[in-house]
């Protein structure tokens, strides 16, 4: 079964083509476009490229198209990308303005260009469907909750991949299989050996998730991707009273305050240097104190959220680092785990130093009670697998 994964941004379009069966997922092709103004033209060019390279005979040979939709009003999970999905994306377009309109447009374009090919949306919130009401509710008036304001959690595809792959690496096939079937059968009851994972997705956009026996029990990100850890240029957690105070004192509008929190905050706002951790680390080496502050705040936030989920789950068998920073910054990983020896965390400095540039591995010492893993992110593969399962079951 040939599955095309479409990753759409406000001005970008990236794709991967997979050949899937029950036991294997082979990537056939990948590509992308920047400064996109017309998705239809991109889709047409992509199909011509895939045919020209011999991956397809025609666009109709594609068995399904999968979309990594972010946030839908009153809708989550792995679902057919139909009118209901478009309505859900429209309902929260103000909350995810860089993603929802783009995906709605992309879904419509694929429906027009390949009308007979099934379309499937895997929402980034899907992995958090089974959080308890205590975990996802804010202490806000009922009228606010009726609008859908709650903690949703994001980076679901990445954390789901961590849940499955960490279980495989630690020899817990029962949990791994539970994760594979999660969106098909739901979590059900679990009676196997415990596997509690602190999953740290650290990149341009970062989040921490607690995963108990393959199921997310909480998320650092909240109503939007704005909450939780400081992002590359988004603020992360912020006391709500800061916004009206800043508007009054600086004489700016709420809209301008929101723009600054989304575009000029996070690592960029703290460092004053860049929103890229690599540039910030270079500035630290040059003695820039604000750059050091940016990394220190990020590390403190990671430890704060990981510690909260550790307490909530009553412990952990593994800590996992994934995504660009998590996979490549050995110093940051060591700092996050520093001083945790009494909890059972023992980093192997040599293994940690070697685990860069997409290398998978266990970076804790053999006698570490809590294992520390590096798992390269592979969100597109997760989407392809879920689309395959969805289409096969239909």
The H-or-E segment that residue 79 falls in is: strand 78-80
What is residue 230's predicted lDDT score, i.e. its pLDDT? Answer: 95
Please tell me whether residue 82 adopts helix, strand or coil conformation.
coil
For residue 82, what are its two tokens?
Answer: 């139909």
Residue 279, by phi and psi: left (phi above 0), alpha (psi -120 to 50) or beta?
Answer: alpha
Nearest to 181, CA basis, from 364, 22, 375: 22
What is residue 39's predicted lDDT score, i.e. its pLDDT? Answer: 85
The CATH number, out of the four listed (3.40.50.300, 3.30.420.40, 3.90.420.10, 3.40.50.720), of the domain defined by the range 156-379: 3.30.420.40
Do domains 2-123 and 156-379 share one topology? The answer is: yes
| Residues forming a β-bridge with 36 | none
What is residue 243's predicted lDDT score, i.e. its pLDDT? Answer: 95
Q: Which residues are annotated as a binding site?
A: 7, 14, 276-278, 324-328, 379
For residue 107, what are its two tokens?
Answer: 């879904």
For residue 130, what are its two tokens?
Answer: 């089974």
| Residues forming a β-bridge with 318 | 197, 371
Per-residue pLDDT tens, the chain, 394 aa: give them.
Answer: 999 999 887 778 899 999 998 878 899 999 988 888 888 888 899 999 999 999 998 888 999 999 999 999 999 999 999 999 999 999 999 898 888 998 999 999 999 999 999 999 999 999 999 999 999 999 999 999 999 999 999 999 999 999 999 999 999 999 999 999 999 889 999 988 999 999 999 998 899 999 999 999 999 999 998 899 999 989 999 999 999 999 999 999 999 999 999 899 999 999 999 988 889 999 999 999 999 999 999 999 999 999 999 999 999 999 999 999 999 999 999 999 999 999 999 999 999 999 888 789 999 999 999 999 999 998 999 999 999 999 988 7
| CATH number at 2-123 | 3.30.420.40
What is residue 361's predicted lDDT score, i.e. its pLDDT? Answer: 94
Q: Around Cβ 241, how many Cβ atoms within 10 Å?
A: 8
What is residue 59's predicted lDDT score, i.e. its pLDDT? Answer: 87
Burial classification of residue 368, based on how many CB atoms lie within 10 Å of its CB (0-12 exposed, 13-18 middle, 19 or more buried): buried
Nearest to 47, CA basis, from 17, 82, 18: 17
Q: Which residues are annotated as a binding site for ATP?
A: 14, 276-278, 324-328
What is residue 23's predicted lDDT score, i.e. its pLDDT? Answer: 76
Rounded-to-integer distance, Cα 7 and Cα 218, Å: 25
Predicted TM-score (pTM) of this structure: 0.92
Chain-centroid distance, C-alpha 281:
23
Rounded-to-integer distance, Cα 235 and Cα 99, Å: 18
What is residue 100's predicted lDDT score, i.e. its pLDDT? Answer: 92
What is residue 9's predicted lDDT score, i.e. its pLDDT? Answer: 79
What is residue 365's predicted lDDT score, i.e. its pLDDT? Answer: 96
Q: Which residues are annotated as a binding site for Mg(2+)?
A: 7, 379
Please tell me whether residue 140 adopts helix, strand or coil conformation.
coil
Domain residue ranges of the chain, discontinuous segments joined by +: 2-123, 156-379
Q: Around Cβ 105, how many Cβ atoms within 10 Å?
A: 18
Are 273 and 279 spatial neighbours (Cβ–Cβ below 8 Å)? yes
């Amino acid at each position: 079964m040939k599955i095309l994964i479409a990753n759409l941004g406000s001005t970008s379009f990236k794709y991967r083509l997979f050949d899937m069966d029950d036991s294997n997922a082979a990537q056939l092709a990948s590509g992308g476009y920047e400064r996109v103004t017309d998705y239809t033209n991109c889709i047409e060019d992509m199909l011509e490229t895939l045919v020209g390279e011999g991956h397809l005979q025609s666009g109709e040979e594609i068995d399904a198209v999968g979309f990594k939709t972010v946030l839908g009003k009153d809708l989550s999970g792995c679902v057919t990308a139909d009118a209901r999905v478009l309505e859900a994306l429209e309902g929260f377009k103000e909350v995810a303005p860089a993603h929802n309109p783009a995906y709605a447009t992309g879904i419509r374009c694929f429906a027009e260009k390949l009308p007979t090919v099934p379309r499937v949306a895997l929402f980034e919130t899907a992995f958090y469907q089974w959080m308890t009401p205590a975990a996802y509710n804010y202490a806000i008036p009922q009228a606010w909750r009726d609008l859908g304001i709650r903690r949703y959690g994001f980076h679901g595809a990445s954390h789901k991949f961590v849940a499955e792959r960490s279980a495989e690496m630690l020899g817990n096939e029962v949990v791994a299989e539970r994760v594979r079937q999660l969106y098909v059968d739901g979590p059900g009851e679990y009676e196997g050996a415990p596997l509690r994972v602190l999953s740290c997705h650290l990149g341009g956009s970062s989040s921490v998730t607690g995963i108990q026996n393959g199921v997310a029990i909480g998320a650092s990100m909240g109503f939007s991707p704005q909450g939780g850890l400081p992002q590359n240029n988004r603020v992360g957690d912020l006391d709500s009273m800061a916004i009206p105070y800043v508007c009054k004192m600086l004489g700016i509008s709420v809209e301008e305050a929101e723009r600054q929190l989304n575009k000029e905050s996070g690592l960029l706002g703290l460092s004053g240097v860049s929103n890229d951790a690599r540039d910030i680390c270079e500035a630290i080496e040059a003695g820039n104190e604000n750059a050091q502050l940016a990394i220190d705040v990020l590390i403190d936030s990671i430890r704060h959220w990981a510690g909260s989920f550790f307490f909530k789950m009553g412990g952990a068998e593994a800590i996992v680092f994934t995504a660009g920073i998590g996979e490549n910054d050995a110093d940051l990983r060591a700092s996050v785990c520093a001083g945790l020896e009494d909890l059972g965390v023992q980093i192997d400095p040599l293994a940690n130093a070697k685990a860069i540039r997409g290398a998978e591995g266990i970076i804790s010492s053999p006698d570490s009670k809590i294992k520390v893993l590096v798992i390269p992110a592979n969100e597109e593969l997760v989407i392809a697998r879920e689309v395959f399962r969805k289409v096969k079951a239909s």
